[in-house]
Structure 1
Amino acid sequence: MSNPPMYGNLVPLDRTQHKNLRMSTVKSSLDRIAGLNSLFVAVAEFSDACKDFPVVFVRVGAAVEGQRQAVAPLAVFGLKPGSNLFIKDGLWTGRYLPAYIRRYPFAMARIDDGENMALCIDDAWDGFSQTDGAPLFDDKGEATELLLNAKNFCEEFEREADRTRQACDVLQDLNLLQDMRFEATMSSGEKLDVDGFMTINEKALAELPDDKVLELHRNGLLELITMHRVSLGHMSRLATQYQPVA
C-alpha cells in the first residue's frame, strides 16, 4: 500500500491487532504538513478554500499511453517546494483547514489488490499509544464513538473525492484547462517562477457553446470555475510573504 502525502505508514485498522490502541485527541498533526506546499482539496471545499489559498489543478497518477491523465485540484500553501506559509510556531494560521488534513491520522484506502476499501491509520504517527488517549475500541471490541465519527468522515471524504474526479473529467472533456506559469518578484528582488499547474483557459471558456455554458451552470461547475479564478489572486499574496534571506 502506497502512502499518500502526509502519511508515514498507512495500515488497515484491525479490531484484534489494534484492540488496545488509543489516540491522542489533543496532539497536533500539523508537523506532518510543514514541508508540504500543497494538498488535495475537494470541489465541495472551493467556497472556503478560495478565500485563503490559490486553488489550482495538477495532473496526477502515472501517464499511460493512449489514455488521458487524471487531474485533481490542490490548495496551494506555498510557492516553493517544502514551503508551507500557513504554519507558524506550530499553529495553523489559515481560516480554513482542508478536509484532507482534518481526517488525519485516518484514511480510506484500497486493500486486497484494490478490490476493497478499508479504514486505515497512520501507525507512524506518535499520537497513537497503548496507554494514553481515547480508545478506538471498547471492552467488547466494538468501535467507539470516536472511531465511528472518524470512519464516517473518511467515507464522506471519499464520496467528495469521487465527485471531484467527475468534475475534473468534465473540465477536461470541454478542454477548459491549460498549463500555466506564475512569475513574481519578491520583496528581496528574487524572481520566483512556479509551473507544473493548470488553470481555466479563459478563451476556451468564452468560446463554449451556449448549451455547454448552461450545462456548467446547472451542474454547479460554473460557480466552481469562478471560485478557482478568484482564488488565483492569492498567488501574489503568497509571494510577498517570503522574507529576504539574511
Structure 2
Amino acid sequence: MTTHQLLNPQDHAHLRLLPRSGAEPHFVQIVPGEFVAAAIACPILFSKDVATGAFYAGAVLGLNPGEGALKSAEERGGFEPLNLQRDGFFISGERIAIDRGHPRFSETQGEPLFDEAQQPSPSLRQIQRVLGQLHEGIEQTALLVRDLVNLKLLEPIDVSLNFDDGERLRLEGLYTVSRDSLRELGDGDVQRLFRSGHLHLAYTIAGSLNQLAVLAHLRNRKLAGV
C-alpha cells in the first residue's frame, strides 16, 4: 500500500515534522551548489544511475555501506546534504508530495507543517527551499556532466584502502575529474568552462579527493577505539 500523498493543508494540517534521525548513508547524491561546502569535509565522486546510466554526483560520507557516515554534520563544518534535509518529502510534477509513512511525520510531536491560517509554517518553507534547490541543482548537474563528458574529463577511479586491522576496502563504479586532462585543455575550452562556472566545479571535485585519506585515517581511529 502506497503512502505517497500530495501535500495540502486540507489533509495534512494536523501533521508535524520531527527532526531527521537515524544513521546517514555512506554516499549521498548532491548538486553543484553544495560542492564547495562538501569538498572541505568529504570526497565528491560521480556514480551512474542503475536505471538510466546517467552520471550523478555524490558526497562520500563513509567508506563502507554498512557503517554509514564517519563524521557528524557538526564535524563536517555543518554540511548536511540537501537530499538528507528533505527526507520524507519529494517533488511530484509541480507539487510537493510526502511519504506519509516516513518516521519524520507525527500528529503529536514536532513542528507543524501549516499554521492556523493553513499557510506553510517556517519548517515547511525551509523544506520548500530545499526542494527548489534540488530541482534546480539536478538540471545544473546535467549541464556540468555534459561538459565533463564531452571534454573527456571524467575518468573511473577504483579506490583500494588498507586498514590497520587487516581489512581492505575497495570502492568501485566511481568516477572523478582528471587533473591531467584539465591541464591539457585548450584555451577555448578553459575559457568556456570558466565562464559557465564549470571550471571551478571541476577543480573542486578533483581537489576533494584529498578527503579520502582523511576519511581512511578517521575510520582507522574508530576501528582502534580512539
Alpha-carbon spacing, 1:123–1:93, altered in 2? closer, same or farther (3 Å)? farther
TM-score (norm 1): 0.79
Secondary structure class of the residue paired with 2:169: strand
Provide structure 2 residue ranges, at least 5 long, that are not aligned to the other structure.
Answer: none
TM-score (norm 2): 0.85
Alpha-carbon spacing, 1:193–1:149, altered in 2? closer, same or farther (3 Å)? closer
Give distance in 1, aligned partners of 2:71 and 2:215. Answer: 13
8 Å Cα contact 1:106/1:120 also seen in 2: yes
- Out of 81, 89, 97, the position equivalent to 1:106 is 89
Match of 1:16 in 2: 10
Shift of 1:57: 0.8
Match of 1:113 in 2: none
What per-residue deviation string (whole Å, max 9, x for no partner) do you get for residues 83-142 of structure 1? 223356xx75321222222233333x23xxxxx232122323333222333322234433
Match of 2:54 in 1: 70
Alpha-carbon spacing, 1:239–1:149, altered in 2? closer, same or farther (3 Å)? closer
Query: Are 1:44 and 2:33 matched, yes or no?
Result: yes
Provide structure 1 residue ranges, at least 5 long, that are not aligned to the other structure.
Answer: 3-8, 64-68, 111-115
Match of 2:106 in 1: 129
8 Å Cα contact 1:86/1:94 also seen in 2: no
- Out of 89, 94, 114, the position equivalent to 2:76 is 94
Query: Are 1:192 and 2:192 matched, yes or no?
Result: no
Q: Percent identity, aligned pairs only?
A: 25
Match of 2:202 in 1: 225
Give distance in 2, aligned partners of 1:178 and 1:154. Answer: 30
Match for 2:75: what amino acid?
T
Alpha-carbon spacing, 1:191–1:139, altered in 2? closer, same or farther (3 Å)? closer
Match for 2:70: what amino acid?
F
Aligned-residue Cα RMSD (Å) equals 2.5
Secondary structure class of the residue paired with 1:17: helix
Secondary structure class of the residue paired with 2:34: helix
8 Å Cα contact 1:86/1:93 also seen in 2: no
Match of 1:82 in 2: 66
Match for 1:148: what amino acid?
R
- Out of 17, 22, 26, the position equivalent to 1:31 is 22
- Structure with the higher fraction of residues in helix conformation: 2
